[in-house]
A and B are shown apart, each in its own frame.
Chain A
Amino acid sequence: MSAVSRRDWLLSDAPQTRRQARLGAIYQGWLTFRANKLAMLGLIILILLIGMAILAPWISPYSPYSQNLANRLQPPSAANWLGTDALGRDILSRLIHGSRITLFIVGTVALIAPIIGLFIGTVAGFAGGWVDQVLMRITDIFLAFPKLILALAFVAALGPSIGNAVLALALTAWPPYARLARAETLTIRNADFIAAARLQGASRLRLLIRHIWPLCVSSLIVRVALDMAGIILSAAGLGFLGLGAQPPLPEWGAMISDGRAYILDFWWVAAMPGLAIFTVSMAFNLLGDGLRDVLDPKGDKS
């Protein structure tokens, strides 16, 4: 099949098979996404980040843990591209290895929080009545605490470690998703297509899973991508406060924290990981914007 005909096959308005219909829908989405240049930039940055995390041991010039006190606090040079920190460790190597930790945090939180939120929000919105009241009041209680403080409390109780930091972040990040999912559910709940499915005898569970979830998921994905930056920053914040990753793990927030003492004289120690956090946060934001174009046609740009 030549390239042109494959494109026509994918864009066909009259797909012949289930597979063609599904692939066609995905291809349409990809074309919309690709039209957003900034979102493509975000995607490329994130792919590079993932590549960096996977290949970390091979592409980092030094070990992230090898100290060289004779060579401490060196500015960026040919030997150490991004300079060295207070213990003479190569900052570039630490950043490269730190991307694994960042991805682990982001990935885990992005899996746990929206799923809790989706579940609680749609159940509350769909069931209504006292179920809704109880679930949403719990959500409100979580929302009422500042996120970082709540996470701090969790970590303080569970003991500082990277796993507990992730857990704390996930447990504090779900309420906005629950809110969003509930609002979506309320608008979908009374739609005619739900009424039609009820008239076929569809059970409430089936309505929830087959009809309501697919419509809520897209806006949640967009929201998660946009929130990623915040999650990375919160994780970095916990690291900075010494409640996340423990030394000598090269977590980016903890690295900034280490560099804090020298920030005036040896700016690169704190600035380099800061720059990394900034780049990745921005990439997620751009990606989220692009995903919104694809998944949420309601917000059509006018």
Chain B
Amino acid sequence: MLRVEDLTIWFGQPPDRIDAVRGVGFDIAAGESFGLVGESGSGKSTILRAVAGLNPNWSGRIEVDGRPLRADRRDRAFFKTVQMVFQDPYASLHPRHSVDAVLGETLRLQGMDRIDSRIQKLLDDVGLGRGFRFRYPHQLSGGQRQRVAIARALAAEPRLLLLDEPTSALDVSVQAEILNLLADLRAEHGLTYLLVSHDLAVIAHMCDRLAVMQQGRIVEILSAAQLRGDAAEAPYSRHLIAASLGR
């Protein structure tokens, strides 16, 4: 579904160029859920933004469905295949657009028909009832906003969802609801996930495989079972695991 080879991403122009990600590669099979875990500055979110086409400064190879992507442009087919959910639900919704406007515009942009019934269906899918349709973001809680953001991402009926720390701005009880929702949606729609998080427990819960990142490089790729079974080899992964277990 997604293949990344020798990906290098930088910010700024030489001589001030900083390589945020250096020579990273991984594969995600269709229907798989893959995690990127690391601390701040490890480059995990940067990879996500490059795949989404939000940062054109990269070299290497990114393939979606076997088709290589161009650095600067994405076509309509790409937006129908790949969508993204952002970290901060307070920043990812337009403050002056109601839920109805957000979803309606998205559906129209994606060239969908029967907008009205589709909005209803999307809201049902993410567990928001009819009463939420005409609310503005300031009338929603953090968890409800993130549900709207997920509904927006699902509007295009994508197959690959890029999830950038989707729960790190939320309370733990709300995090559980959103993670469950994401798991349900994946099962229902056969989605592929690329999930970025700093929280190993969240990644282990959600993903089949994961890559541990440090300072722009992948230190190790493991399965969730290996992670739990204490089979991580790289010292940095072991250090992270120990820290999240509180040892």
Could you list which residues of chain A lie within 8 angstroms of chain B, going by C-beta atoms?
A: 13-18, 20-21, 25, 191-193, 195-202, 206, 210-211, 214-215
Contacts and interface: CB of A to CB of B under 8 A. Distances in A.
Contacts of B54: 195, 198-199
Contacts of A210: 105
A13 B138 CA distance: 10
A170 B84 CA distance: 44
14 contacts: A14-B135, A15-B134, A18-B98, A18-B100, A21-B135, A195-B84, A197-B105, A198-B53, A198-B54, A199-B54, A199-B84, A200-B105, A200-B155, A201-B109
Interface of B: 49, 52-54, 76, 79, 82-84, 86-88, 91-96, 98, 100, 105-106, 109-110, 131-132, 134-136, 139, 149, 152-153, 155-156
Nearest to A215: B96
A225 B78 CA distance: 45
Given A17-B134, A200-B105, 17 more contacts: A14-B131, A15-B135, A16-B131, A18-B134, A21-B100, A21-B135, A192-B86, A195-B54, A195-B92, A196-B92, A197-B105, A198-B53, A198-B54, A199-B79, A200-B79, A200-B155, A211-B94
A214 B86 contact: no
Contacts of B136: 21, 25
Contacts of A211: 94
A12 to B, nearest CB: 9
A225 B100 CA distance: 32
B48 to A, nearest CB: 11
Binding site of A, secondary structure by majority: helix, strand, loop or mixed? helix
Contact of B109 (A20, A195, A202): A202
B17 to A, nearest CB: 18
Contacts, number: 76
A193 B94 contact: yes
A9 B49 CA distance: 42
A199 B155 CA distance: 12
A118 to B, nearest CB: 15
Contact of B139 (A13, A196, A199): A13
A214 B79 contact: no
B102 to A, nearest CB: 9
B91 A191 contact: yes
Contacts of B88: 192
Contact of A200 (B87, B110, B131): B110
A16 B100 CA distance: 11
A200 B139 CA distance: 24
A196 B79 contact: no
Contacts of A192: 86-88, 91-92
A211 B155 CA distance: 19
The 4 A-B pairs of least Cβ separation, nearest first, read A192-B92, A21-B134, A14-B131, A192-B86
B96 A214 contact: yes
Contacts of B100: 18, 21
B135 A201 contact: no
A191 B52 CA distance: 15
A63 B111 CA distance: 63
A201 B110 contact: yes
Contacts of B105: 197, 200, 202, 210
Nearest to A14: B131
Identify which of A15, A16, A200, A206 gathers the most chain B CB atoms within 10 Å of its CB.
A200
Nearest to A193: B94
Nearest to B78: A201
A17 B99 CA distance: 12
B94 to A, nearest CB: 5
B109 A14 contact: no
Contacts of B52: 195, 199
Nearest to B104: A18
B109 A193 contact: no
Contacts of A18: 98, 100, 134
Nearest to B139: A13
Given A196-B86, A200-B156, A201-B79, A14 B92 contact: no
Nearest to B110: A200
A193 B91 contact: yes
A196 B149 contact: yes
Contacts of A214: 96
A196 B164 CA distance: 12
Contacts of A197: 94, 105, 109
A200 B149 CA distance: 12
Contacts of B49: 195
B110 A196 contact: no
B233 to A, nearest CB: 36
Nearest to A195: B54
A193 B93 contact: yes
Contacts of A14: 131-132, 135, 139
